[in-house]
Structure 1
Amino acid sequence: IFKRAFKFNKRVFELGYPANDIFFKKDISGLRDELKEKVGIPKDKKVILYAPTWRDNESSASWQHSFEIKINLNDFMERLSDEYILLLRMHHLISDSIVIPDEYKDHIFNVSSYDDIQELYVISDILITDYSSVFFEFANTKKPILFFAYDYNLYKEEIRGFYLDMKKDLPGPILQSSEELLNSIKNIKQVELEYKSSYDKFIKKYCEIEDGNSARKIIEEVF
C-alpha cells in the first residue's frame, strides 16, 4: 500500500517502526506509572485514549478543519468517570478547535499537543479510534480497541474509503452511537473475549515484524 500510495518502486525496509520499540520494554509497568505522573493522571485510574482522524468534509477554511466530539461527555462523566480518565488526542488539523468544559477537566484531558503518542498508548487501557492508522500501532499492546465509526457509510462512500474490509478485518467492534460506545467500555472484558480471535489474526498479519528491535535493525541496515 505504501508503494502504491507514494508511487515508490524501490526497496522498502520491512523492519518495523522504531517508535513501536517502546511497547517491548521490560519494565513497562514502571514506565506506565512514570508517564501517568508526567501527564497528571492518578495511578489508580484507568485510561481511555480517543484518537480519531480528521474528515475532509469538515473544513471551515482552506486548511482549517472543525470537529464535533460525538461521545456524550455527560454520559461518560455519569457512567465511567469514577473508573476512567478520557484522553482526547486529536489530529493536528483540528486540535485547536477542541474545547473541554471546565467541569470535566479533572476527568477529560486534551493531550493533542503531547509530543509522543506512543507514550499515550503505553498509559492507555483502551483505544477508541475510527479510520485512523493509530490502531495498527496500538495493537502491539494487545489492549482493547473500539472503533467509533458514527459516520461509517458516509466515510466509506463519499469521503476516503478504506484499505481494509472494516467489518471483517478489525480487531474490535464498529460502534455507531455514543450509547453503544459507552456500553462497550462498561463491558470491555466481554468485548475482549468476543474479539480475541480477530485480534490474534490481526496481530499475526500486521504486527508480526515488531519485536522491540526495529531501531537497532534499521541503524544496522542503513547506517
Structure 2
Amino acid sequence: MKVVLNSFQGDYSDSPRALYEALRERGDDHEYVWLSRPDRVADFPAEVATVDFGSAEARAALESADVVVSNDHIGFDWDKRPGTTYLQTWHGTPLKRIHNDVLWAPEGRLAYLDTEIARWDALLSQNPASTPRFRQAFGFTGPVHETGYPRNDVLSSPDRDRIRAEVRAQLGIADRVTAVLYTPTWRDDLVFAEGGGPQHTFPLDLNEFAAGLGEDHVLLLRLHQMVADRLEFPEGGPVRDVSSHPDIRYLYLAADVLVTDYSSTMFDFAVTGRPIVNFTYDLDYFKDELRGFYFDLAAAAPGPLLATSDEVLAAIAELSSRPWVPTPQYTRFQETFCSLEDGHATERVLDLFFPSQQQNDEPRR
C-alpha cells in the first residue's frame, strides 16, 4: 500500500508525522512518500522518501497513492484516482471562523479550496465542540471522527519529561529559566492585502517585551506558518525565533507558559496543564471585522484576556511568584476542548484507517 503524507505544505510535523512514526514503529510494510519543501527537507529522517511539494513528482505521488494523509489543504491541482482514501487530519480547534464562515476572503480562494475538500474521504476532530463547526464551515458530509489529535499524544506520554529536558537542552534553556512560548496567529489583511510583502509587524516591540520578562525568562517566538518568513531577529538578542523548529508539539513540552491571542495552539497547550495567557490587543477588530469567532472567547478562555504588553508582563511575573494551580476557568477549558487528548489518539486513528496487516491490508473510510 502506498501512503503519501503532507503537513503544512511540506513540513515533517503534526499528526501526519505522528501517524507515520507509529506505522513505522509497528513495522507495517507500506511504501511511504512525503511532500517536502526544499528548505525543510533536512528535517526529514534520512530513510524518508520525499518529493518536492508542488512538483510534477508530488502530483504523480498523490495520483498513485492508496492513502493520502494531510493536515491542511494541499494547495495544488491533482487528480484523485478511484479507490484512494484521503484522510484529512486538519490542524486545530477552530475559535476563528474558517472557510465558508469567514467574514472576508480573497476573491476565488474559497471556491478553489472547495475542490480540495471534495477529495476528502474522512476528517479528524480534536473534540466534540469542533465537529459541527467543521461540517458547517467545510460543507463536508463525510465521516468526522472524534479521535483527538495524534500530534498531541506526546504531551501525555510517559516520556514527556525526558523529551522536555532534551528539547530545552537543544534550545539552550537552563533548568531554572522560565520559557515563555509566544504563538500569535496570522492576520488575513496583512497576509493577503499586502500582496505577500516581506515583513510582518506587531503592535509592540518584541525585543523590549522579551527584556521586560527578566533574565530568568526567555521568550520563544513561534510565528504562524503563513507569516513565518516575514520577520527577522538578529542572533544573540532577547527573542529566540523558533518559527523554523520542525514540530511545535516539542516546543509545548519545553515551554512553561504559553502567550497567544486567538491561535489554536491554546487548545493543544492546555493538555500540558501549564498556564496560558491570552494577549488580545486587537480583540474587537479581529472578532467583529477581520475573521469572526465561533464562540465568546472571554467566557471560554483558559484565563483573562489582556490588552497591553504591561498586563501580560505582570501576569507572567505573578505566575513566577508562586506555584501554578489551574483555575476553575482553565479546568472548564480543558474539559471542553481536551477531553479526547489522553495520549491514545494515534491508536484510535490507526484502528480506523490502518488496521494491523494481520487484520486487513486495506484502509478504511
TM-score (norm 2): 0.56
Structure 2 CA distance for aligned equivalents of residues 92 and 34 of structure 1: 24
Map of 1:54 onto structure 2: 186
Map of 1:13 onto structure 2: 145
The one-letter code matched in structure 2 to 1:42 is A
| Cα displacement (A) at 1:144 | 0.7
Q: For structure 1, which runs of at least 5 residues remain unmatched after alignment?
A: none
Whether the 8 Å CA contact 2:303–2:329 is kept in 1: the answer is yes
Structure 2 CA distance for aligned equivalents of residues 10 and 102 of structure 1: 48
Q: Which of residues 166, 169, 172 is equivalent to 2:297?
A: 166
The one-letter code matched in structure 1 to 2:177 is K
Please state if 1:208 is matched with 2:339: yes
Map of 1:23 onto structure 2: 155
Q: Deviations over 1:9-43 (max 9, x none)?
A: 12111111100000111132221110111223223
| Cα displacement (A) at 1:215 | 0.6
Q: Which of residues 194, 204, 210 is equivalent to 1:76?
A: 210
The count of corresponding residues between Structure 1 and Structure 2 is 219
Structure 2 CA distance for aligned equivalents of residues 82 and 29 of structure 1: 24
| Cα displacement (A) at 1:184 | 0.7
Secondary structure (helix, strand or coil) at the match of 1:212 reads coil
| Cα displacement (A) at 1:75 | 4.7
Whether the 8 Å CA contact 1:47–1:84 is kept in 2: the answer is yes
Q: Deviations over 1:161-203 (max 9, x none)?
A: 111201101001211111111111111267955x610111111
| Cα displacement (A) at 1:131 | 1.0
Please state if 1:115 is matched with 2:115: no
Map of 1:176 onto structure 2: 307
Structure 2 CA distance for aligned equivalents of residues 74 and 18 of structure 1: 37
Q: For structure 2, which runs of at least 5 residues remain unmatched after alignment?
A: 1-132, 355-365
Secondary structure (helix, strand or coil) at the match of 1:167 reads helix
Map of 1:98 onto structure 2: 231
Structure 1 CA distance for aligned equivalents of residues 270 and 239 of structure 2: 23
Map of 1:126 onto structure 2: 257
Map of 2:3 onto structure 1: none
Structure with the greater relative contact order (CA < 8 A, sep ≥ 6): 1 or 2? 1
Rg larger in 1 or in 2? Answer: 2
- More moved, 182-191 vs 212-221: 182-191
Structure 2 CA distance for aligned equivalents of residues 203 and 65 of structure 1: 37
- More moved, 176-185 vs 63-72: 63-72
Aligned Cα RMSD in Å? 2.0
- More moved, 36-45 vs 171-180: 36-45
Structure 2 CA distance for aligned equivalents of residues 207 and 68 of structure 1: 32
Q: Which of residues 287, 293, 297 is equivalent to 1:156?
A: 287
Whether the 8 Å CA contact 2:258–2:275 is kept in 1: the answer is yes
Whether the 8 Å CA contact 1:54–1:67 is kept in 2: the answer is no
Percentage of pairs with the same residue:
35
| Cα displacement (A) at 1:101 | 4.4
Pick the structure with more helix per residue: 1
TM-score (norm 1): 0.90
Q: Deviations over 1:87-142 (max 9, x none)?
A: 110012222222224552xx321111111000000000011111111111111011
The one-letter code matched in structure 2 to 1:74 is E
Whether the 8 Å CA contact 1:76–1:182 is kept in 2: the answer is no
| Cα displacement (A) at 1:204 | 0.8
Structure 1 CA distance for aligned equivalents of residues 135 and 319 of structure 2: 37
